[in-house]
Homo-oligomer: A and B are copies of this chain.
Amino acid sequence: MRYARLSVGGRPVWGRVGETDVELLSGSPLEDEPDLIGTVPRATAVWLPPVVPGVFYAVGMNYPRHIAHAKVATPERPEVGYRANNALTGHRSPIIKPREVEGRFEAEPELVAVIGRTLRHATYDEARKAVFGWTIGNDVSARTWQHQDRTFWRSKNSDTFKPMGPWIETDVDALAQTTTMRVNGETRASFPTGDMVFDPFDYLVEMTKHVTVHPGDVLWMGAESTCQLEPGDTVDVEISGIGVLSNPVLLEGNQQ
């Protein structure tokens, strides 16, 4: 099943995504079994981030090639960081490049696990069962700020820097897929989605030794590659079996 959140009359509404239509739902499938309350054609859907997390977890270095490229040590244990909800934006919404940003302004294509159950002291098998589904994230990063600042607050969490979507796919072996990043239709990276140092369930086992994760929390799994973005570009992140997250890049002040 594919679950999305759409903007309908200016309000967020959950939906079940079909081939041509999105069936609108009375509530969140993460909380209960919602009723069908209407239908909109998929072609006219306005996509929101498919969930607004209570906690927005993000993994840093987690792909061997990225680690080698960054010349850092391979992590010896799963350690997690955070991103911020203000930065979330949906499929097809613009990534706004701030006018102050100079130098590298990059996309990072990531698999995202969406948590469906409350979990603490989880086994690997309990962690597997607690993932409700999978979506796609683009961890847009302004490198000059990343190196200048004490935290990632504006380098990775400025408004629109965290596209997520288009939907949550519940029926896929996410670690057996291929992640592909394209800019203006040209492939810039393609790698096995599951080629990770630690997989999402390893992370959840380690995290839940100390923290409780809740339904709706998200875990972004890190990127294998990055690529430069310029205003006017459109960046697509595709994970086979899940979908395509596509966002145009606009210069601040030039958006509608």
Contact = CB atoms under 8 A, between A and B. Distances in A.
Interface of A: 52, 54-55, 60, 75, 79-82, 84-87, 98, 120, 149-151, 153-154, 157-159, 207, 210-214
Contacts of A75: 150
Contacts of A157: 210-211
A121 to B, nearest CB: 11
Given A52-B54, A54-B52, A81 B153 contact: yes
A122 B98 CA distance: 16
Contacts of A85: 54-55
A158 B153 CA distance: 21
Contacts of A211: 84, 86-87, 153-154, 157-159
For chain A, what secondary structure do more than half of its interface residues adopt (helix, strand, loop), or is it mixed?
A: loop
A84 B57 CA distance: 9
A85 to B, nearest CB: 5
A80 B151 contact: yes
Contacts of A151: 79-82
Contacts of A150: 60, 75, 79, 81
B81 A210 contact: no
B60 A213 contact: no
Contacts of A87: 211
A84 B60 contact: no
A79 B155 CA distance: 11
A82 B80 contact: no
